[in-house]
């Protein structure tokens, strides 16, 4: 296992991080399997574990908390807030009112007295940066969190938050968690240059592109992944973007084979090769999934392999642009780009 410094924090984290989104209802991974996954990950040298309050409406945190009981100090623990937690209109977002409550709920479910990294799951357009950063700074001062970060923020919002922190003398986001894979490279054009500019740690999610790069999605075979059953439209080969992804996967599989690698090793080695990236978050549902991903722990891609990947998917390109998660609101809502 390789280790890198998380931004400028001085904290050393493994280049593969364990994501717990599939623990519980989302991935149907129960307590025994989840505990075995955590055991195996830690034994392999993974020391960073990431979850969120909204995964299974708290179920992931509860399962993870039981899995790490008695060894809290052996890992860097991260969770997130912002997504709706129930129907109550104020049980969401990044207001001070909600973050104080949301963090207490997360700590209780995890069975710990603090988290190492508390991340804002998305940018909240209803709440000012000053409001959110002030609350997070106070929570850090109280010892309930060590650091705080953002997740899937548009580049301009990362810049704005950094400016607000400096101007208002508040703590700043020290990490960003964007989606990044060979098939979705848009963040290379805007987000990753900004994170490098501000010395932020980068923890990329979906490095296997929701299973497209796992080896389970290939030409001529039925797609039976868990994600395809939940979001079938993202695997409908009648859609041009999905056909483009499948064509790219077939070409990438040949590159991997020529290099003596699995497609998973190629995919994870690609994301961790970018100088801005600290860790790639893997989200196994089973022990077998984890073991296949751990095989990439020491994968280093040669320049020739990286060049071949660039020929298949150009730098800065998203093959499924409609699945971007950091699109500015005005591009999605016509009313926001039309003067009244």
Residues 6+ apart with CB under 8 A from 124: 82, 93, 94, 95, 132
CA dihedral defined by 58, 62, 63, 66, rounded to 10 degrees? 170
φ, ψ of residue 228 in degrees (nearest 5): -70, -25
The terminus-to-terminus CA distance of the chain in angstroms comes to 56
CA dist., res. 80 & res. 156, Å (int): 21
- Distance of alpha carbon 203 from alpha carbon 17, whole angstroms: 8
Cα(118)–Cα(141) distance, integer angstroms: 13
Measured at the alpha carbon of residue 209, what is the angle toward residues 213 and 152, in degrees to the nearest 5? 155
Tell me, yes or no, if 55 is annotated catalytic.
Answer: yes
Catalytic-labelled residue, pool 3, 55, 118, 147: 55
CB atoms within 10 A of CB 192: 24
Two structure tokens written together for 323: 């699945």
What residues are labeled active site?
55
């Amino acid at each position: 296992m390789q280790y890198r410094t998380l931004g400028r924090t001085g904290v050393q984290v493994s280049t593969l991080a364990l994501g717990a989104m599939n623990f519980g209802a989302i991935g149907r991974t129960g307590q025994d399997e989840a505990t075995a996954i955590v055991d195996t990950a830690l034994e392999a040298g993974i020391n960073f574990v990431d979850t969120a309050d909204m995964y299974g409406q708290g179920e992931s945190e509860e399962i993870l908390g039981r899995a790490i009981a008695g060894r809290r100090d052996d890992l860097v623990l991260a969770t997130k807030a912002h997504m709706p937690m129930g129907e109550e209109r104020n049980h969401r977002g990044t207001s001070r009112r909600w973050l104080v409550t949301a963090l207490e709920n997360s700590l209780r479910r995890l069975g710990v007295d603090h988290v190492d990294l508390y991340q804002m799951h998305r940018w909240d357009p209803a709440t000012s940066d000053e409001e959110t950063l002030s609350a997070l700074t106070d929570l850090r001062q109280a010892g309930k969190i060590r650091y705080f970060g953002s997740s899937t923020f548009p580049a301009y919002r990362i810049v704005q938050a950094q400016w607000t922190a400096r101007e208002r003398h508040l703590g700043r986001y020290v990490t960003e968690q964007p989606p990044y894979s060979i098939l979705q490279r848009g963040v290379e054009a805007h987000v990753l240059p900004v994170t490098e500019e501000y010395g932020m740690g980068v923890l990329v999610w979906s490095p296997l592109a929701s299973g497209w790069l796992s080896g389970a999605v290939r030409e001529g075979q039925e797609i039976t992944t868990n994600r395809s059953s939940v979001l079938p439209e993202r695997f409908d080969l009648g859609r041009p973007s999905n056909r483009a992804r499948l064509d790219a996967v077939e070409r990438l599989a040949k590159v991997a084979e020529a290099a003596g690698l699995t497609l998973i090793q190629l995919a994870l080695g690609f994301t961790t090769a970018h100088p801005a990236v600290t860790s790639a978050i893997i989200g196994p549902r089973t022990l077998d999934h984890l073991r296949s991903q751990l095989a990439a722990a020491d994968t280093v891609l040669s320049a020739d392999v990286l060049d071949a990947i660039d020929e298949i998917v150009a730098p800065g390109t998203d093959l499924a642009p409609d699945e971007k998660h950091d699109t500015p609101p005005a591009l999605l809502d016509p009313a926001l780009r039309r003067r009244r």
